[in-house]
């Protein structure tokens, strides 16, 4: 097959850029360990309470070490369950100090949901039978909206929460 000289230059340049690009994302993935979330841990969607992290008393935020937090969440149409406060009201806002490392652990009792802390890299699919996890350092102060970003039914847009990062 005949290739024009300029086309050869064009394709060699294009393919070299491609190889460089793939090396960069491969380096980030395998040397730096920056993969998208995938823990391949399963759970019975009809009995999520059987898992320690998703027992009603363990939902919400917990400090596990200095500056390290775990947030356990159970999603269901059309709500995120972050546990209850001392007065028995449903928690809607997670508060963490700036610079903390937060591990979000979430699963669903019913259909597929999304979990995104808008304005951060925390963005996961939440699927029945699976546990989704993502650890992030909350570097910026402010209020971040948690949105369900996968369609889960007619109340999908009413499914939200807030992460408040304070000084």
Partner 1 sequence: MTKVQLPLSKKESRLYMAFMWVTYISLLIGGLMGLLQTLVRSGKYTLPFNIDYYTILTVHGVILGLVLTTFFIIGFQFSLMGKTVGISDKQLKVAWLSFWVMLIGTIMAAVTILVGEASVLYTFYAPLRAHPAFYIGLALVIIGSWIAAFVNFRQLYVWKKAHKGEKSPLPAFMVIINMLMWFIATIGVATSVLVLFIPWSLGYAETINVLLSRTLFWYFGHPLVYFWLLPAYMAWYVVIPKIIGGKLFSDALARMAFILLLMFSIPVGFHHQLTEPGIDPTWKFIQVVLTFMVVIPSLMTAFSIFATFETTGRRKGFKSLFGWFKKLPWKDVRFLAPFIGMAAFIPGGAGGIVNASHQMNALVHNTIWITGHFHLTAATTVILTFFGITYWLVPHLTGRRLTPRLNKLGIIQTFIWTFGMTIMSGSMHIQGLLGGPRRSSFSEYAGGEQVATWINYQIAQAVGGTILFIGILLMVYIFIQLTFFAPRGVQEYPIAVEEDDAEPTPKILENWYLWIGITIALILFAYTIPVIDILKHSPPGSLPFDWPIGR
The rounded distance, in Å, linking the Cα atoms of 34 and 54 is 26
Determine, following the binding rule CB under 8 A, whether residue 72 of this chain makes contact with partner 1.
Answer: no
Q: Is residue 97 part of the contact set for partner 1 (CB under 8 A)?
A: no
Q: Does 27 bind partner 1 (CB under 8 A)?
A: no
Residue of the chain from 62, 90, 103, 127 that contacts partner 1 (CB under 8 A): 127
Residue 165 burial class via C-beta count within 10 angstroms: exposed 0-12, middle 13-18, buried 19 and up = buried
For 2, 38, 42, 58, the CA distances from 74, given in Å and listed in that order, are: 60, 18, 14, 10
- Binds partner 1 by CB under 8 A, chosen from 31, 43, 97, 135: 43
Rank residues 63 and 145 by Cβ distance to partner 1 and give the closer one: 145
Q: Which stretch binds partner 1 (CB under 8 A): 49-57, 61-69, 79-87, 119-127?
A: 119-127
With beta carbons less than 8 A apart as the criterion, state whether 54 and 126 touch.
no
Nearer to partner 1, 1 or 65 (CB): 1
Q: Which residue has the tokens 């909206």?
A: 145
Span from 22-30, 55-63, 64-72, 82-90 in contact with partner 1 (CB under 8 A): 22-30
Nearer to partner 1, 7 or 63 (CB): 7
The correct pick among 25, 50, 137, 141 for binding partner 1 (CB under 8 A) is 25
Helix (H) or strand (E) holding 75: strand 68-76
* Complex with partner 1: residue 63 or 155, whichever CB lies closer: 155
Q: Shortest CA distance to 166 belongs to which of 138, 136, 134?
A: 138
């Amino acid at each position: 097959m005949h290739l024009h000289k300029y086309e050869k230059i064009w394709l060699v340049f294009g393919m070299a850029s491609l190889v460089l690009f793939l090396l960069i994302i491969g380096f980030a993935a395998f040397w730096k360990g920056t993969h998208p979330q995938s823990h391949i841990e399963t759970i019975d969607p009809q009995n999520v309470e059987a898992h320690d992290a998703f027992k009603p008393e363990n939902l919400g935020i917990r400090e596990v070490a200095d500056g390290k937090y775990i947030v356990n969440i159970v999603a269901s149409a059309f709500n995120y369950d972050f546990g209850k406060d001392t007065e028995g009201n449903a928690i809607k806002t997670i508060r963490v100090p700036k610079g903390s490392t937060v591990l979000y652990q979430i699963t669903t009792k019913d259909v597929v949901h999304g979990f995104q802390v808008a304005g951060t890299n925390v963005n996961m699919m939440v699927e029945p039978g699976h546990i989704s996890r993502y650890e992030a350092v909350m570097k910026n102060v402010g209020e971040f909206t948690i949105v369900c970003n996968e369609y889960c039914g007619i109340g999908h847009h009413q499914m939200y929460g807030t992460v408040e990062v304070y000084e």
